[in-house]
Chain A
Amino acid sequence: MSNKIDANLVRHIGKLSRIELTDAEVDALGCQMADILEYFDKLQELDTQNVEPMAHAVELSNVLADDVQRDSLTAEQALANAPAREGDFFKVPKVLGEGA
Chain B
Amino acid sequence: MVAQVCNLWLLVVGGTGLQPVAVGGTNEKIMTDNNDNVLPIIGMEIHVELATKTKIFCRCLNRFGDPPNTHTCPVCLGMPGSLPVMNKKAVEYSMKVGLALNCTIAGRTKWDRKNYYYPDLPKAYQISQYDMPLASDGYLEIPLEGDTTKKLRVLRAHLEEDAGKNVHDLPGCTGVDLNRAGVPLLEIVSQPDMNSVAEVTGYARAMQRIVRWLGVSEANMQMGHMRFEPNINLHITRDGKIYKTPIIEVKNLNSFRSLEGAVAFEIRRQYELWQDDPDGFTLEKLGKQNRGYDVDREQTVFQRDKEEAHDYRYFPDPDLMPVVVSSDWRDRVAGEIGELPLARRERFMTEYKLTFEEADSLTMDGPTGDLLDAVVEAGAEAKRCSKLLMSRGLALANEKNCTIAMTGIKAWQLADLAKMQDGGDINATAAAKIFDKMTATGDSPADIAQADGLLIVKDDSQIEKWIDDAIAANPQAVAEIAQGGKKQKKSFSFLVGQVMQASRGAAAPADVQKQLTQKLAE
Contact = CB atoms under 8 A, between A and B. Distances in A.
Interface string A76-99: 001100000011111111111111
A78 B181 CA distance: 13
B229 A92 contact: no
A63 interface: yes
B306 interface: yes
B318 interface: yes
A57 to B, nearest CB: 9
B323 A68 contact: no
B114 to A, nearest CB: 12
Contacts of B70: 72, 74-75, 88
B313 to A, nearest CB: 7
Contact of A15 (B74, B86, B252, B308): B308
Interface residues of A, number: 39
A78 B122 CA distance: 12
B298 to A, nearest CB: 18
Contacts of A73: 72-74, 77
A18 interface: yes
Given A70-B59, A73-B72, A91-B173, A16 B91 contact: no
Chain B interface main SS type: loop
B175 A86 contact: yes
Contacts of A79: 69
A61 interface: yes
A94 B72 CA distance: 23
A23 interface: no
Interface stretch (B162-170, B399-407, B486-494): B162-170
Contact of A63 (B61, B86, B90): B86
20 contacts: A16-B309, A55-B110, A56-B321, A63-B85, A64-B88, A64-B91, A67-B90, A69-B53, A69-B54, A70-B59, A70-B60, A73-B72, A73-B77, A78-B69, A89-B167, A89-B175, A92-B175, A95-B174, A98-B168, A99-B303
Interface of A: 12, 15-16, 18, 55-56, 60-75, 78-79, 86-100
